[in-house]
Amino acid sequence: MKKWVYWAILAILIPAGADYVQAGEATNLKVGYLPASGHGKIFVAYERGYFKEEGFDAELISFINSADGIAAIRSGKIDVGGFGTVAPLLQISTGADLRIIGGLMGTDSAILAMGEKADSIKTVSDLRGLRVATVRMASGDAVLRGALLEAGLSWKDDLEIFELKSPGAVIEAIKNGQVDAGMVWGPHDVAALAQGLKIVLISDDMYPGHPCCRLAVTGEEYEQDLDKWKRFLRALLKAERYAFTGGVAHQRQVVEDISKYAPLDTKLIDQSYYHSHLDQSTDPNASGVLTMWEVVKAVGFAQKDENISRFIEIAAYREALESLLAEEPDDAYWKNLKPVFEERDTGNYGGGRAQP
């Protein structure tokens, strides 16, 4: 069959706006994640076939903390990853050319304690004089230190902060009495309840609506192929819509998908994924990232000041959302995302400088 005949037939058979990637080899894509319920969109996109629909042969790679994940992006071991907001910001402040292209989740961190200590902690000020564990470069860590600063406390002088490697290590340190309290994220906070710990403070109360894990790539990766990242974000947006439409049937499937990567009881996953203190937007939330940058500077984390807005790329997300709206103009889910994007991401973002 002649090529022009083949393509003419194909054009008739495939409806306009269908999810279709031109024939050819799929793009290999290594995606980094944390084994947390908040990263559920990645798992759903993989398990429901959305990465394949967008032309990717995806491989999911697990990390136990954001610092290790960002290091893997910089070294080229993975192409993209969803890690805490603080990690890419700190790397950018030391000269790394990283680009934030979207979001996985927001808020969803909590401070845990046990026994009498838990009963005595009502506000951030009650942490004065205590030993508090955090996970290095986690968003909740920066939120905690910023909240301490706003409460008039010095995180260096008024309490002891211990930076541990994982939420599991934080929980064990609390249980063993090595620390008085600790900051973790979901579903580890919910799982800890069965071990006798209590949630005493949540990050959403300390810094309402704060962004957490952002999707990051290197500047070179981003600039080489904008369409690649548009398709990647389309896959995640489809996963986001699947998770929050379709009622109980979809909810059960999402919990099952997440359980393959965050090995916890499905009831715990359901509680942690579908609760009011977890923002699931794929939106980059540029304004939230800039506010987090101010917190990072205020608590003394940043090596130097930097125009972070140059490293927040909104074009791929904007094109992903607009393309989905063009395909399904009457879809309520896509229409509701447009004003959220306009509220969070209006401004001059993108155009980071090349790596020196």
Supply the DSSP string of 75-136, one letter for each residue. Answer: HTS-SEEEE-THHHHHHHHTT--EEEEEES-EE-EEEEE-HHHHHH--SGGGGTT-EEEEET
Pair 134, 193 in one domain: yes
Pair 314, 228 in one domain: yes
pLDDT over 90 at 23, yes or no: no
Pair 318, 170 in one domain: no
H or E element that contains 74: helix 66-75
User: How many C-beta atoms lie closer than 10 Å to residue 313's C-beta?
Assistant: 26
Whether residue 110 contacts residue 183, with contact meaning beta carbons closer than 8 Å, is answered with yes
Pair 311, 328 in one domain: yes
Please give the pLDDT value at position 5.
Answer: 39
Give the mean pLDDT of 231-251: 97
Please give the pLDDT value at position 342.
Answer: 94
Whether residue 287 contacts residue 344, with contact meaning beta carbons closer than 8 Å, is answered with yes
pLDDT over 60 at 9, yes or no: no
pLDDT over 90 at 349, yes or no: no
Query: How would residue 147 be classed by pLDDT, with cut points 50, 70 and 90?
Result: very high
pTM given for the model: 0.85
Give the mean pLDDT of 125-144: 92
> Distance between CA 85 and CA 147 in Å, rounded?
16
Phi, psi of 132 (to 5 degrees): -125, 130
Domain around 198:
109-206
Query: How would residue 353 be classed by pLDDT, with cut points 50, 70 and 90?
Result: low
Phi, psi of 203 (to 5 degrees): -65, -30
> Distance between CA 148 and CA 127 in Å, rounded?
9
pLDDT over 50 at 69, yes or no: yes
Among 191, 206, 221, the domain boundary falls at 206
Pair 34, 89 in one domain: yes
Pair 323, 227 in one domain: yes
Domain count, the chain: 2
**CA distance between the termini of the chain:** 52
Q: Could you tell me which of 217, 241, 260, 321 has the C-alpha nearest to residue 43?
A: 260
Q: Which two tokens stand for residue 74?
A: 């910089």
Average pLDDT of the residues of the chain:
89
Q: Residue 270 sits in a domain of what CATH number?
A: 3.40.190.10
Among 152, 177, 206, the domain boundary falls at 206
The reply to whether 7 falls in a domain is no
The reply to whether 355 falls in a domain is no
Least confident of 15-29, 81-95, 119-133: 15-29
- In percent, how much of the chain has pLDDT > 70? 92
Pairing outcome for strands 56-62 and 27-33: parallel
Pair 92, 224 in one domain: yes
